[in-house]
Chains A and B, each alone.
Chain A
Amino acid sequence: MSMVYLELKGISKSFPGVKANDHISLEIEKGEVLAVVGEKGAGKTTLMNILSGFYQPDEGEIWIDGRLASIHSPSDAIALKIGMVHQHFTLVPVFTVAENIVLGAEPTRFKAVLDFKGAVKKARELSQRFGLNVDPTAVVESIPVGQQQRVEILKTLYRGAETLILDEPTSVLTPQETQELFKTIKMLSSEGKTILFVSHKLKEVLSIADRIAVLRNGKVRGVVKVKETNERELAKLMVGRDVVLEVKKSPPLVGEVLLETKGLKALNSKGLLALKGVSLQLRAGEILGIAGVEGNGQTELVEALTGLRKLEAGEIWIKRNRLKKYNPGEVRQKGLGHIPEDRQKRGLVLPFTVAYNLILGRQTQTPFSRRGWLSFAQIDTSAEERISLFDIRPPRKNVEAKNLSGGNQQKVILARELSFAPPIIIAAQPTRGLDVGATEFVYERLLKARAEGTAILLVSLDLEEIMSLSDRIIVLYEGEIRGELDASQATEEELGLLMLGVKRTDEVKA
């Protein structure tokens, strides 16, 4: 069993100005799940791109199954039975599942005519053999993300992959889909496939991997067995210092009600009632967590509160004034800051510079503009201040936002939304896709705002995040409030049951 299948010896790769991989050596056994973890920029993706033939290493050797392998292109990698599942899928959205699976090595008749039936048959065989349930005739764009990922995996298996590289595979998945994926990985490894699981989520790798290799600044900082390690040790290896994983919270100094909703009803984008009368109160100095399985009205609630979604019924009160006009500009004027769920799509104008993004929404207000003319001196000084205050890297105001890492993009949004001290903050999944360091930073800033008396509504799918940050927790289930709990007394089981719509608070207490 303990046979080394894949071996990396002293792999180095430099890019101008950065040593992305610095003499990396790893041994991976057949049928093993090795997790490669590290912060953004630690060199994980570069290493995987070397293995799959997208980059050539400057130094070092790759041995596969006892033979020296030379991988000069992705097709070499395929020939060596290495398959990569990219973080961002490489599927053709309008093709069917079967067509996508065989793409690049299509079965043909008479060497020229595409054999669609054969493709469907092969796809069905594969999905049955590996227990990966997908309908081969479904069009890819119409199936959920979790299934699209299965198609990616099937694609590599179709090409005969023995080694599978999964690059941040859970970043696009819901918790349920993640569980499904883990089942798949376990099954594949029991079939003797060797799996490289790239991630920065420690909880995940602890539950799926056999061993974990930690990268930092392009070097291997340690390879540990899952059974002999814990989250704290891994985080320390990853970041290079002790990380506060447990959130230290001062007792809340709760003030007056700043935001109140009464019987909020709203439709979702399919025109169905997604909010069925939500009434809640948010007070100064507290964090109210909204928990729930994805798609139970969280998105609609956030959009209704921020003026993006039309209300069917109900009222929103900000500081004892009823909102009359529901549009994002109006709500913002009244003192509501918003950290949107999708930072690239909704939080930033990516081709704009950091300085420009930092004034988005305030471009017509003093001091950033005067009588319609932008005041560049003010925009620049304010940008410089906030860049250093929020530790945005690189610390340059004229970098386009698209060139920042995800964590730094989120910092720009935080800097914009928090630095004007709005009395109310709506934070929707503020740490989605961020690494440990950046997540820590976001928590720190939100708690600081809380201590300063800001009322924060935190919507998150990450139960742990909700539990550690919130003072009170509300569980949404099918557009209704299923229960409200005191965060200090709530347990994961209790919340889980509420999220599944099982019990009400009073029954739990009784």
Chain B
Amino acid sequence: MIIPRLEEKKIDFLVPFVAVLTALVFGFILIILTGGDAFKGYQNLFAGMGLWPDRAQLFRLARSLENASVLALTGLSVALAFRCGLFNIGVEGQFLVGAISAAYFGILLDLPSFITIPLILVISFIHGGLWASIATYLKLKRGVHEVISTIMLNWVALNLIENYLVVGPLRVPADPGVVVPTGTHTINATAQLWSIIPAIGLKVDIIIALLATIAIYLLLFRTSLGYEIRAVGYNQEASRYSGINVDRTMFIAMFISGGLAAISGAVLVMSVLHSYPAVFRPGYGFDGIAMALVGNTTPFGVLSAGLFFGGVRQGAAMMQLVGIHKSFADILQALAVIFVAAQGIIRYLLIKYAKPITATAVAEDV
């Protein structure tokens, strides 16, 4: 197959969009097949995302952005590890570690807001990074594949937090005789994220996600460390030959990955939940994998995926009004991942139909 380079780049860029569009089309058909009103459903979907001009538009947009921030951060976490050739399936666990860390320090610290909030973010980042480092340690010293160890660590984190910390040391004492689990105390007001537009509840979480995206972009594509991370991800052997310390690079990439996941959890606690709930299995960590895939593991791609699916989550809630279950968001997300995974087909179609227009091919392998 002869594809000129520039075109190849363009296709790389187009694939996720085509995948999402195809997912929307299939979702549409799916609603019709199950006897729903697809037009009304999609209208509600977009309205729920905050893309439809009505009275509650801004409010819904704010909720979409809230979701987007959390999804983008977990997506960045997966993407960064992936760039270094590591499959961090433990984002869920690192997310929970970040969330409990934010809840704990949000209760403990009573300093001015401009110190508390950055401090908590840094602390959760380090906690998440350390938690992820357990997997790196096992991989580098004991040869345990990170997929296995991170999945196992997810359960360790969940049970450690939910079945020990939240019902033990961090438990809110309930009235005698009441056995309802309560979760932790509410965090101090100084630990709650600042608002941008209080009226619609828009907080700075989307700005944190945007800053993280920019930071990861700069790290990956502008620094020598990022160069090393990508070199190791593409070709470990050549990296080792060239003198790159592969173990160190992997350790750093995994640490930052875990840190990003933790910040995501911390942001959710500091922005929306304000405490660590008694039962908390959000699945945002696993959604991160979807964001990374749909975003083609590029930072801004991941952010875009987060924005879109953050909206879809919000929109799907409104689809319930016309009798479509809100799990439609998951269906859409799953479809998009399938089409990204099956991108061979999309590429083939793009090349086939785009070729007559841009026939400036250069033969590179005759």
Contacts of A17 in B (CB 8 A): 361-363
- The answer to whether B238 has its CB under 8 Å from any CB of chain A is yes
- The answer to whether B179 has its CB under 8 Å from any CB of chain A is no
Q: Which of B339-366 contact A (CB under 8 A)?
A: 359-364, 366
Contact call B231/A18, Cβ cutoff below 8 A: no
Contact call A345/B224, Cβ cutoff below 8 A: no
Contact call A308/B224, Cβ cutoff below 8 A: no
Shortest A16–chain B CB gap in Å is 4
Q: Bound state CA distance, A177 and B364, in angstroms?
A: 31
Known: A346-B241, A351-B234, A373-B222. A46 touches B5 (CB 8 A): no
Known: A17-B361, A347-B238, A350-B234. A361 touches B5 (CB 8 A): no
Known: A348-B235, A403-B364. A332 touches B242 (CB 8 A): yes
Contacts of A306 in B (CB 8 A): 241
Contacts of B2 in A (CB 8 A): 15-16
Contacts of A340 in B (CB 8 A): 241
Q: Bound state CA distance, A327 and B237, in angstroms?
A: 13
Shortest A195–chain B CB gap in Å is 23
Contact call B228/A363, Cβ cutoff below 8 A: yes
Map CB proximity to A onto B210-233 as digits: 1 under 8 Å, 0 otherwise.
000000000000111111101100
- The answer to whether B244 has its CB under 8 Å from any CB of chain A is yes
- The answer to whether B245 has its CB under 8 Å from any CB of chain A is yes
Q: Bound state CA distance, A346 and B242, in angstroms?
A: 8
Q: Bound state CA distance, A121 and B279, in angstroms?
A: 64
Contacts of A329 in B (CB 8 A): 243-245
Contacts of A374 in B (CB 8 A): 222-224, 226-227
Contact call A349/B245, Cβ cutoff below 8 A: no
Known: A16-B359, A363-B228, A372-B223. A332 touches B234 (CB 8 A): no
Q: Which of A25-42 contact B (CB under 8 A)?
A: 41
- The answer to whether B325 has its CB under 8 Å from any CB of chain A is no
Contacts of B224 in A (CB 8 A): 363-364, 368-369, 372-374
Which residue from chain A places its CB closest to the CB of B232 in the assembled complex? A349
Known: A328-B240, A372-B223. A399 touches B231 (CB 8 A): no
- The answer to whether B304 has its CB under 8 Å from any CB of chain A is no
Q: Bound state CA distance, A346 and B240, in angstroms?
A: 8
Contact call B238/A41, Cβ cutoff below 8 A: no
- The answer to whether B22 has its CB under 8 Å from any CB of chain A is no
Shortest B261–chain A CB gap in Å is 24
Shortest B186–chain A CB gap in Å is 41
Contact call A338/B363, Cβ cutoff below 8 A: no
Contacts of A345 in B (CB 8 A): 235, 237-238
Q: Which of A442-471 contact B (CB under 8 A)?
A: none
Q: Bound state CA distance, A15 and B361, in angstroms?
A: 9
Shortest A237–chain B CB gap in Å is 19
Q: Bound state CA distance, A177 and B366, in angstroms?
A: 28
Q: Which of A1-52 contact B (CB under 8 A)?
A: 15-18, 20, 41, 43, 45-46
Shortest B67–chain A CB gap in Å is 33
Contact call A16/B361, Cβ cutoff below 8 A: yes
- The answer to whether B182 has its CB under 8 Å from any CB of chain A is no
Q: How large is the interface on A (under 10, 10 to 19, 20 to 34, 35 or more residues)?
A: 35 or more
Which of A16, A331, A348, A398 is within 8 Å of B238, CB to CB? A348
Q: Bound state CA distance, A17 and B3, in angstroms?
A: 12
Shortest B353–chain A CB gap in Å is 17
- The answer to whether B57 has its CB under 8 Å from any CB of chain A is no
Contacts of A16 in B (CB 8 A): 2, 359-363
Contacts of B190 in A (CB 8 A): none
Q: Bound state CA distance, A43 and B366, in angstroms?
A: 6
Contacts of B234 in A (CB 8 A): 349-352
- The answer to whether A435 has its CB under 8 Å from any CB of chain B is no
Contact call B235/A350, Cβ cutoff below 8 A: yes
Which residue from chain B places its CB closest to the CB of A360 in the assembled complex? B242
Which residue from chain B places its CB closest to the CB of A14 in the assembled complex? B363
Give the most central of A330, A398, A403: most B CB within 10 Å.
A403
Contact call B241/A338, Cβ cutoff below 8 A: yes
- The answer to whether A197 has its CB under 8 Å from any CB of chain B is no
- The answer to whether B239 has its CB under 8 Å from any CB of chain A is yes
Q: Bound state CA distance, A467 and B196, in angstroms?
A: 76
Map CB proximity to B onto A326-367 as digits: 1 under 8 Å, 0 otherwise.
011111110000101000011111111000100111011000
Contact call B231/A360, Cβ cutoff below 8 A: yes
Contact call A349/B366, Cβ cutoff below 8 A: no
Shortest B97–chain A CB gap in Å is 28
Which of B238, B241, B243, B363 is within 8 Å of A15, CB to CB? B363
Which residue from chain A places its CB closest to the CB of B228 in the assembled complex? A363
Q: Which of A96-147 contact B (CB under 8 A)?
A: none
Contacts of A346 in B (CB 8 A): 237-238, 241
Which residue from chain A places its CB closest to the CB of B360 in the assembled complex? A16
- The answer to whether A294 has its CB under 8 Å from any CB of chain B is no
Contacts of B245 in A (CB 8 A): 327, 329
Contacts of A373 in B (CB 8 A): 222-224
Residues of A at under 8 Å CB distance from B?
Answer: 15-18, 20, 41, 43, 45-46, 306, 308, 327-333, 338, 340, 345-352, 356, 359-361, 363-364, 368-369, 372-374, 398-400, 403
Q: List 6 A-B contacts (CB under 8 A).
A: A16-B2, A306-B241, A328-B243, A352-B231, A356-B227, A398-B5
Q: Which 5 A-B pairs have the closest CB atoms?
A: A329-B243, A361-B242, A16-B361, A18-B363, A369-B224
Given contacts A338-B241, A349-B230, 5 further A-B contacts (CB under 8 A): A17-B362, A18-B363, A329-B245, A374-B222, A400-B5
